[in-house]
Structure 1
């Protein structure tokens, strides 16, 4: 379902949610909790509604809404971002090959290493997607799927989506190119317009935006791929609850407004950090100092609230800084209205050795900040007092 409206915000509020769809013309989409539907006679039922695992009105309303936001023809939602990626990876068979970003989200990395490689027996090659030579060397005759994040976690590297899609398709047009667009959202960037086959998001993050729903979504313009995703919902039972779909749909209504403030706050904080004598380096795509700034400006319309930076010092100084924060919470997620901060190496177990992590830019003094919607002056004041005391 491509958007019936010209502007993103109008689609966010109305797409897939016409009151005419509901029995009483409700403005706010109702939560359909029924697991099954009455048939007028055996095998005859209204619309596609037979059993809720197969189709649910609240879930379909959300899928239509998200498809419009991504300007996609098809959309399917799943109970988590990893469930969404797992559904995608079921397109790959034993003996086939996947190329995956080396600095992919930790949960995806574990899925690739512990399940896809060890259990499913599928070959996976991890590469740096900002290096085209790495991609050229990794492509094989049995390569089936390529997966990367448009903005990597936590070092915010930016991949030229169109360049990668073109390179892969020129090698073999049947290789599927998949982008995880979680960090920047469809408000700022739509990867399908750059030639990829599927785009996914962890709706747990910005799309829901309120830290109370776990969900994933996959969008595509290809019916065959969408049929596979629906099979994963129906046969593998990978579906979110109607209530979670309702909450996520409530979140999308304010996505365009929230993303503008996330960007405004993040820009102000990145500038503050860049001028602080306690900060070694700031990573923010809107800054010309970012290695892929030109790529960002070419393919995105703005930036989310994600800012990464390095504290001067090591693990001790970083830990002290985080513990001094009063308003900003230490937590592992991102994209919420509340500001959340973390030091990846101090908080998440990594399987790679210290030298390999350092090569990727992941050191004890690296901090990832998901800037929320609080007043930016209060956030800066909290950062300032924590830095002064650390």
Structure 2
């Protein structure tokens, strides 16, 4: 683990290390294969599915930032999740996951469990009785998502990790909403960290990727073996773009948070806004936990639209600076309707159990001038109100 500050690791990893031409920025290694020095002599790299210098540079940077022993850069965030369960779980193993997790996570875990690859139990992890009952079954893996998608719920990583360790259960945390700058789950007791690097780490909505980081060296080596075995690794050019985005993560996250705070304050004054979900609010159930385990509150937020369905549709349609799209964490602001978009793979019953209503809207606040974002929201709310 590096002793440098996180912003420095993000900027300097892979800089000024080219020994051939002394390029300040490392070249992209787009090769699919590598020559062997001689028959029987194995080089450091033999095939880019197994290892690639560009991809490894990104993996090293993210592992250092999370305080891990090693990382695997994958083709997407779902691929990172799939790699973890493939490496750790068998037909008799139990995975305990949050009932309100990202829809893609729910779909992956539920579908593979239905095939008999492992067992899965979805619970409200904020319910101590439900968690205790689940851990009493001695699961192999506990999956945490904090803050959660889309309701931005916060779970106490340290406390739950201690409970999991008592029954020899490993803990993995999806840290996508905050990035390593605002939260480091490994330091709180987790064994693995997952990111969809598509989001804040890349930050420009132009590449899809993921990463899986392990606390222990032996676990990191096992994940690398499995990644090569099942072909989960990411492409070199995607890794280069993600590394390029990572270099500006620190200033971007500062502006995301500033803009998010401005939008949040505005939403609290709007009559068509019901319950707002954001951990910076003192009324948020996880507010005190977030203050303790996070370095910031992030810029993801959701709210219940307190109007009719036609008004909701008109509000979303009128917006000009919040694009109606899935994903998050890019420079541009986005709005999503989780029930019909990111979580549509969940049944209506599962959505209701998770607290995902048809009036719920999720905002990813970008880097536009906050005055323009607020003006855009004001116009859309006005049009929706006048439609009554």
Q: Same fold (TM over 0.5)?
A: yes
Give how far 1:350 is off: 4.6
Aligned residue in 1 for 2:371: 377
Aligned residue in 2 for 1:157: 153
Runs of 4+ in structure 1 over 6 Å off? none
Give how far 1:351 is off: 3.4
Q: What is the TM-score of this pair, normalised by structure 1?
A: 0.94
Give the secondary structure class of the aligned counterpart of 2:330.
coil
Give how far 1:157 is off: 0.6
Q: How many Å separate the matches in 2 of 1:45 and 1:357? A: 51
Q: How many Å separate the matches in 1 of 2:15 and 2:263? A: 39
Give the secondary structure class of the aligned counterpart of 1:235.
helix
Residues 3 and 67 in structure 1, CA contact (< 8 A), matched pair in contact too: no
Of 353, 370, 381, the residue aligned with 2:348 is 353
Give how far 1:244 is off: 0.3
Matched, 1:44 2:41: yes
Matched, 1:315 2:309: yes
Unaligned residue ranges in structure 2 (runs of 5+): none
Aligned residue in 2 for 1:336: 330
Q: How many Å separate the matches in 2 of 1:3 and 1:160? A: 26
- 1:1-390 correspondence runs (5 A): 2-5=1-4, 7-15=5-13, 17-46=14-43, 48-90=44-86, 91-115=88-112, 117-170=113-166, 172-173=167-168, 175-347=169-341, 348-353=343-348, 357-390=351-384
Q: How many Å separate the matches in 1 of 2:279 and 2:224? A: 35
Write the deviation string for residues 15-36 of structure 1: whole angstroms up to 9, x where unpaired: 2x14234422221121101122
Write the deviation string for residues 178-204 of structure 1: whole angstroms up to 9, x where unpaired: 000001110000000011100110001
Give how far 1:214 is off: 0.8
Q: How many Å separate the matches in 2 of 1:186 and 1:266? A: 18
Q: Structure 1 pair 25/35, CA: closer, same or farther in 2 (3 Å)? A: same
Q: Structure 1 pair 74/265, CA: closer, same or farther in 2 (3 Å)? A: same
Q: How many Å separate the matches in 2 of 1:379 and 1:143? A: 45
Give the secondary structure class of the aligned counterpart of 2:17.
helix
Alignment length, in residue pairs? 382
Give how far 1:123 is off: 1.5
Q: How many Å separate the matches in 2 of 1:375 and 1:161? A: 34
Residues 99 and 145 in structure 1, CA contact (< 8 A), matched pair in contact too: yes
Residues 318 and 343 in structure 1, CA contact (< 8 A), matched pair in contact too: no
Q: How many Å separate the matches in 1 of 2:309 and 2:22? A: 57
Give the secondary structure class of the aligned counterpart of 1:104.
coil
Q: How many Å separate the matches in 2 of 1:310 and 1:293? A: 19
Give how far 1:287 is off: 1.5
- Return the structure number with greater relative CO, CA threshold 8 A, min gap 6: 2
Coordinate RMSD, CA, aligned: 1.5
Q: How many Å separate the matches in 1 of 2:231 and 2:354? A: 37
Give how far 1:208 is off: 0.5
Q: What is the TM-score of this pair, normalised by structure 2?
A: 0.95
Q: How many Å separate the matches in 1 of 2:279 and 2:352? A: 21
Give how far 1:247 is off: 0.2
Q: How many Å separate the matches in 2 of 1:238 and 1:350? A: 23
Write the deviation string for residues 354-384 of structure 1: whole angstroms up to 9, x where unpaired: 5x53443211211100000001000000001
